[in-house]
Structure 1
Amino acid sequence: MSTSEGTDPAPEQDSTRTVPRQTPDSDRPAPTGPAPELPYPPPGPLPVVGQPRPSSFKRGFGAGAGAALGAGAVVCALTLLNILGLVAMLALARPGSANTSADTSTTKTIWGEPGASHTLRAIEVTGTIATSGESTSSLYTSTTYGYDVADIIDGLEADDADGLLLLMNTTGGTIPGSRAIAMAAERYRERTGHPVIAYVTGTSASGGMYAMAGADHIYADQGTLIGSIGVIMGPFAHYSGVTQIDNGILSGGVSAESIEQFYLTQGTAKDFGNPFRDMTEEERATYTNGIAREYDVFVQWVADNRGISTDVIRDELGAYLFDAKTAVDKHLADAVLAREEAFRQAATDAGADPDDTKIVTDTTPSTLSRLLGADSSRVFGHGRPMTSGKATSELCTSATTVFAWSANPIQACGG
C-alpha cells in the first residue's frame, strides 16, 4: 500500500468485530404486570394577583387632601410662631400695660374720603375731664383723661396731620386734666406749625373752656353752651339739730336726743369738712384763697388767648353759660357753624382743600393691641360707659379738690 508524502498511515481495521443485531418491535414480547406510575410534572408559577387599585378620583382626592392638610399645618405653625415672636418683640420694646399707652391707639375716618391727601386729627373731649386713667379707679358717666389725651397730642408730628381738631362736649372736670389738654395743644402748635381748631358739639363749660381757650379758632354748633369760667370746691354739708339719720352716713337709721361725731386729729383744720361742726372763718378764708389762685390762672389763660380783658371776664362773663351766638358776641367763640361747615372751615384754616381732606379720630384698639393688653372696651384716653348706680368719683368723694366744673358734682357719679 502506498502512502502519500506527509500523511500518517490509517490504522488497520479489525475485520472480525461483531455488530449487534437489531430486533424488530413485532418480535419483542409484551410486558407483563401493572404499568409503572410516571411522576407528575412540577407545578408552574402562580399568577401574581395585586390589591384592587382605587379609582383615579379617589387616588387624586387622597393625595390632595393629605398635601393640603400638611401644608395647612405648616402654615398655621409658622403663623403662630410669627405672631408670638412679634408680640414678644413689641412687649420687650414697650414694657408696661398697653392700655395706658398712646402707641396702641388706632384711628378711623369720621369725615371726608379715606384716601384724601390731607388729614385733620380729631381728639374728642367728652364727659367729665379726669386727670389720668391710671390714677382714677372709679368710673364716670363718660370720661376723658387729660394726661392720656395730652400723651396722644404730644405724639403727633408735623407729617401726621395738617392740624388738630378738638371736638368738645364736656361740662369740665379736674384742673390738672383740663390744663394738660390745653398745654399739649399749645405744644402741638409750636412743634408742628399747624393750627389747633376747637368745635363745640354740645357743651364746653368750665374745664372744657379751659382746654379749648388756646385754640386758633373756636366754632360752635347751633344750640350749644359755652362758658362757665370759674372753679368750685365741695360740696360741704353741715347737720344742725339732727336727731335721726336713716340710710345716710350711718346706714340702718339712728335716733337719739343728739348726735355727736368727732375725729382724733393733729394739725389745725385736719377734720375740715366734718358735717357735724361749723366751718371756721380761718378754714373758709384759707380754702377760698386757694381756689382764688386757681381762678386767677384760669381767667388769665382765657384772657390771653381770647383777647378778653380780665375785668370783663370777672365782672361780666363770670361763670355763666352762654348760647352759641352770645358766646360769639362775647368773644368766647368765633362763629356758629353746622358740622359740615365747621369741618370744611377747619380744613381751610389748616391750609388744605376741604374736598381733599379727611378727619380721623381714635377708635378702639386693634387685635394686636388687645393681645398686648389693651382694653378693647374703650378708646385710649377715654373711659368706659358707666353702669348706672355702680360708680363713684373724685367729684363726689373729695370735697377739698378744686374743679373747673359746671354742673352738680353729684351728677358725675351717676346720681
Structure 2
Amino acid sequence: MSESDSTRPAPGPDRSSSPDSGDVSAPSGAELDDPALLPPPAAPPSSEHPAPPAPYAKEPRRSGFKKGFGAGLGAALGVGVVLCALSLLSALSLVVMLVIIRPGEANTSASTTATTTVWGDAGASHTLRAIEVSGAIETTGGSTSSLYTSATYGYDVADVIDDLEADDADGLLLLMDTPGGTIPGARAIAQAAERYRDRTGHPVIAYVTGMAASGGMYAMAGADHIYADQGTMIGSIGVIMGPFAHYSGVTQIDNGILSGGVSADSIEQFYLTQGTGKDFGNAFREMTDEERAVYTSDIAREYDVFVQWVADERGISTETIRNELGAYLYDAQTAVDKNLADAVMGRDEAFRQAATDSGVDPGDTRIIADTTPGALSRLFGADSSRIFGHGAPMTNGTATSELCTSATTVFAWSANPVQACGS
C-alpha cells in the first residue's frame, strides 16, 4: 500500500443499503425545488448548556431540645388550663357553701368592717376613727334591732374598738346620739374606749349630735374631751327598773287585757313558787315592803357605780351628782356649765378641734367611720343592710329586747317605752 492510500479517508457507509432506510427512496429533483414540500429546518444547536437540576434540599432536622421544649410547653399549658378550671370550680363551690351554711357570718366579726371618709380629704395624711353610738344601747344583737328604734350593740362596738391599733388612727371619735340602754352594753363601750387610750396613747373625743342620756353619758364619760352640738341633751345620770303593774278592783279581763271579756266580783292570779319573792312583779298583788327594799338596794348599787364613774372621769363630786345634777337632762350649754361637757360646737368646728386635740393638723386630717360591707364581704354572706355593731329598727311584730320585756333588770336609759317597744 502506498503512502497516499493510507491517508485517503475511508469510504462512508452505503446509506442506500442501510437497514434503517427501509423502502424510502430519495426525493426527486422536483420535490427538492418546492419549498413547501421540504421539512422545516432544524433549530440550530444551542450554545448554552441546560441548567443542571436543583439539588434536593433536605429539611433541617430540629434539635432534640427544641422538640422537647415545645412538647413540654404544650403539656404545661394544658395542665395549667385544667388546674385553673378546677381552682375556679373549687372557689365557686366554697363560696356557695359559705353562703348556704354560714349566712351572715362574714358580718359577725369586727375585722370585717368597712370604712368611708365622712369628713376631710380622703387623701389626708392623718386619720381619726369615728364610732357611732346611736339608738338604744343593747348588750348584743343581730341584723335587726328587737326594738322599734335603731340599736347599737355594746359588745360588738367594743370589739371594733379593741381591734384598733396605734397605727390605724391618730385618735378615737365617739359620735353620740342615744337615750342609753343596758348597763353592760354602755359599760362595754366605756371600758373599750379606756383600753384604746391606754394601748395607743391616743385621745378619745366624744361629740354629741342629738342626745347622750343615761347609758350614753355612761359610755362617753371617760372621753378626754366632750363636745356637744347646739340643741343636744346630755345627762340623766340614773338607773331604772320596771315597769311594774298592779291591778286593783278588777272586774273584767280578756286574756290578760283589761277590756271586755268576763266580769267577776274578784279576779286572782297567782304562781306556785319556792323562794321568797319568786313571783315578784305579779300584777295581781301588791309589792311587799321587803321586795321593794331588796330591789331598791340592787338598783342603788348600780347607781353608785354609775355616779362614781362619772365623778372620776369628769371631775365632779359624787355629792354634786346626787344632790344637784340628779337624773335630769340638760341642754348643751347647761351641760357645759355643769361640767358634763367641755364646749358647744358645730360639726365642722368640733371635728377640727378633735384633730387639734389629737395633735395633728386639721387641714391634713380625715375622719373615717364604719359603712356597710363591700361587694366581696356581701359575697361571703355579709349583711349589706347594716353596719356591724348596729341594728335597724323593727317595722312590725313584738319588741323582744330586754329593755321591753325584763322588768327586773336595771337599765341606764331615758327613752319613751312606747316609742321603743310599741304599744
Superposition TM-score, scaled by structure 1 size: 0.78
Q: Which range is displaced more, 176-185 or 126-135? A: 126-135
Give the structure 1 partner of residue 162 of structure 2: 154
Counterpart for residue 77 of structure 2: none
Alpha-carbon displacement from aligned partner over 1:116-152 (angstroms, at most 9, x marks no partner): 1111111110110000125997244110000000000
Structure 2 matches for 1:1-400, cutoff 5 A?
80=88, 84=92, 97-133=105-141, 138-246=146-254, 248-249=256-257, 253-388=261-396, 390-400=398-408
User: Partner of 2:368: helix, strand, or coil?
Assistant: strand
Q: Secondary structure at the match of 1:98?
A: helix
| CA–CA separation in structure 1 for the residues paired with 2:219 and 2:24 | 148
| Counterpart-to-counterpart distance in 1, 2:93 and 2:114 | 22
In the superposition, relative to structure 1, how do residues 383 and 83 fare at CA in structure 2: closer, same or farther (>3 Å)? same
1:105 counterpart letter in structure 2? T
Paired positions, count: 363
Shift of 1:21: 9.7
Where do 5+ consecutive residues of structure 2 fail to align?
Answer: 28-80
Q: 1:331/1:402 Cα in 2 relative to 1: closer, same or farther (>3 Å)?
A: same
For 2:259 and 2:140, locate their aligned partners in 1 and report how far apart those are by CA, in whole Å.
32
CA displacement at 1:367 relative to structure 2: 1.4
Distance change in 2, residues 1:277/1:331 (3 Å): same
Q: Distance in 1 between the 2:349 and 2:86 partners? A: 51
- Report the residue type matching 2:341 in the other structure: A
Q: Deviations over 1:224-281 (max 9, x none)?
A: 1000000000000000011113575489733222211111212221111010011111
Q: What's the counterpart of residue 45 of structure 1?
A: none
**1:85–1:355 CA distance, 2 compared to 1 (3 A):** farther
Whether contact under 8 Å (1:348, 1:354) holds in the other structure is yes
Question: Quick one: which amino acid aligns to residue 383 of structure 1?
Answer: G
Q: Which amino acid aligns with 1:201?
A: T
| Distance (whole Å) between structure 2 residues aligned to residue 20 and residue 311 of structure 1 | 162
Runs of 4+ in 1 over 6 A off after TM superposition: 19-22, 76-79, 88-91
Aligned partner of residue 233 in structure 1, secondary structure: coil
Q: Find the aligned partners of 1:326 and 1:250 in 2 and give their Cα distance.
A: 43
Aligned position for 2:30: none
- TM normalised by structure 2 equals 0.77
State the secondary structure of the residue aligned to 1:203: strand
Asked if 1 retains the 8 angstrom alpha-carbon contact of 2:143 and 2:390, the reply is no
Aligned in 2, Cα 1:167/1:271: closer, same or farther, shift over 3 Å?
same
Quickly say closer, same or farther: Cα 1:136–1:237, change in 2 above 3 A: farther
Change in 2 beyond 3 A, CA 1:400/1:20: closer
RMSD of the alignment, in Å? 3.7
Contact 1:140–1:392 at 8 Å: present in 2 too? no
Distance 2:208 2:104 in 1: 35
How far the C-alpha of 1:89 sits from its partner, in A, is 12
Between the aligned partners of 2:261 and 2:183, the Cα distance in structure 1 is 37
Counterparts of 1:112 and 1:220 in 2: how far apart (Å)?
20
The runs of 5 or more residues in structure 1 that have no matched partner are 25-72
Q: Cα–Cα, structure 1 residues 244 and 349, in superposed 2: closer, same or farther, change >3 Å?
A: same
Aligned to 1:41: none
User: Take 1:20 and 1:154, find their aligned partners in 2: how far apart are those partners?
Assistant: 130
Where 1:410 maps in the other structure, the secondary structure is helix
Seq. identity, %? 79
